[in-house]
Amino acid sequence: MDLAFDRQHIWHPYTSTLTPLTCYPVSHSQGVYLYLEDETALVDGMSSWWSAIHGYNHPELNQAAHDQINKMSHVMFGGITHQPAIDVCKKLLAIAPNNLQHVFLADSGSVAVEVSLKMALQYWHAKGESRSKFLTLRHGYHGDTFAAMSVTDPDNSMHNLYKGFLPQHIFAQSPQGGFWQPWDESDIDDFREKIAQHHSQLAAVILEPIVQGAGGMRIYHPEFLRRVRQLCDEYNLLLILDEIATGFGRTGKLFACEHAEVQPDILCLGKALTGGYMTLSATLTTKKVADTVCGGEAGCFMHGPTFMGNPLACAVASASLDIIASGKWKQQVQQIESFFAKELVKFEAFEQVKQVRYLGAIGVIETHHSVNMEIIQALFVELGVWIRPFGRLIYIMPPYISQPEHLNKLLTAIKSALNTPECFNQ
Ligand SMILES: *Cc1c(COP(=O)(O)O)cnc(C)c1O
């Protein structure tokens, strides 16, 4: 591959044109393995950012893609419908919290979040109330487009760069108590104060249930989410849950909100929806929200991307939901969680390690010092794994099909990195 061209001309996520870091040329992938151009096999610890849950080059997903592309890869969704969209929406509604009845399909997670925020704004507008603020949590992540970014952690997403343009929302302290720790009632205090103070201006509360992903890989107590739902009910506010990272079994439940037995008014899904094959997202809502939105001045929900409901993506998503419906994920994720509970927690003994956190098929090591990306990435590749840490977080969310041998390989590599001082900025 022409890596020099890549370095000179192609932007990768959050990278600099001045000091481009090494990019590894991947030529194909199979099961839990990514293969470099020189045939080096890497055990994937990232599931391509939460998405490739069933592993790569999956025969059933491949078949669904082939079958659909031979019929129709795309058609506009305005005034037209098709079987793959009907199939995927039926399957989504069958597994989602049962109060959700309407599905809006879009093309990425960030857009699903934009759609959820617009639904909440239109909902209040239709009720004749002007409400334009959202309440969310520190350390959250909801995407890179502007509205999504405006409810993402202000420091992590550098809101100061967009001053005067980015809308200002309200941020409550993120929960401090971990998933496995005893619930501490004071954890909800700041959220309760903020909602009491601002509720008349709020269009909705938006947050990631149980696991805050890219904003810090924090795994919090289900009681916090239960309290949030209660407070939203008390103040008659909509609750938007962003399950783009946590959805489809990653946390050990099909949806993370099930840990707290709460239902959202609006649910955002993406990432693993197509099993990591292509980009597709969905925003689900209740009949009440949908009908209120559509009863307003606009008479409809004001959104409609060109590639909305792309048949190829829907067909693959539908096949992925069939694999999920087989129920195997539950045991697979449980096995990964047991492995983390036994093996990952041992890493707390390392001097470099501040805290170990895990839930379902998510394992997180928070270190004292930030990683040197170039050095740690090279070491991981040398050791035959693909793990991409950020800041002070080395984390893995492997495909559900990962076996103990693969998990061992990932953990052995992390152990080597923790024992290599050069991997960390002192
Ligand atoms: C990744 C992510 C998004 C954004 O999804 P994209 O497909 O990258 O736009 C939004 N919310 C959460 C919780 C995510 O993890």
- The conformational region for residue 299 under phi > 0 = left, psi -120 to 50 = alpha, else beta, is left
Domain that holds residue 384: 3-58+327-423
CATH number at residue 419: 3.90.1150.10
Domain count across the chain: 2
Q: Is residue 66 part of a domain?
A: no
Pick the atom of ligand 1 nearest to 270's CA: 7
Q: Which of 271, 301, 326 is the last residue of a domain?
A: 326
Q: Is residue 76 part of a domain?
A: yes
- The conformational region for residue 184 under phi > 0 = left, psi -120 to 50 = alpha, else beta, is beta
Contacts of 269 (CB under 8 A, 6+ apart): 92, 112, 243, 244, 247, 248, 281, 282, 283, 284
Q: How far is the CA of 253 from the centre of ligand 1 (A)?
A: 19
Q: Is residue 24 part of a domain?
A: yes
- pLDDT of 426: 84
Q: What phi and psi values does residue 224 have, to the nearest 5 degrees?
A: -60, -45
Residue 342: active-site member: no
pLDDT of 167-216, one tens digit each?
999 999 999 999 999 999 999 999 999 999 999 999 999 999 999 999 99
Q: Among 114, 244, 268, which residue has the most ligand 1 atoms within 8 Å of its CB, making it the best to mutate?
A: 244
Pick the atom of ligand 1 nearest to 242's CA: 13
Considering the domain architecture, whether residues 261 and 370 belong to the same structural domain is answered as no
CATH number at residue 314: 3.40.640.10
Q: Is residue 54 part of a domain?
A: yes
Q: Among 113, 137, 397, which residue has the most ligand 1 atoms within 8 Å of its CB, making it the best to mutate?
A: 113
**Numbered residues of the known binding site for pyridoxal 5'-phosphate:** 109-110, 242, 305-306
Within 6 Å (CB) of ligand 1, which residues are found? 108-110, 113, 141-143, 208, 213-214, 242, 244-245, 270-271
Considering the domain architecture, whether residues 306 and 331 belong to the same structural domain is answered as no
Q: Which of 292, 326, 360 is the last residue of a domain?
A: 326
Which residues, given as ranges, of the chain have pLDDT below 50? none
Considering the domain architecture, whether residues 160 and 301 belong to the same structural domain is answered as yes
Whose structure tokens read 């800041």? 391
- Show the tokens assigned to 424: 């960390």
Q: pTM for the complete prediction? A: 0.98
Considering the domain architecture, whether residues 118 and 243 belong to the same structural domain is answered as yes
Considering the domain architecture, whether residues 300 and 379 belong to the same structural domain is answered as no
- pLDDT of 100: 98
Which of the following is catalytic: 33, 123, 141, 220? 141
Considering the domain architecture, whether residues 170 and 315 belong to the same structural domain is answered as yes
Closest residue by Cα to residue 113 from 150, 84, 77, 85: 150
Considering the domain architecture, whether residues 136 and 31 belong to the same structural domain is answered as no
Q: Which of 308, 326, 344 is the last residue of a domain?
A: 326
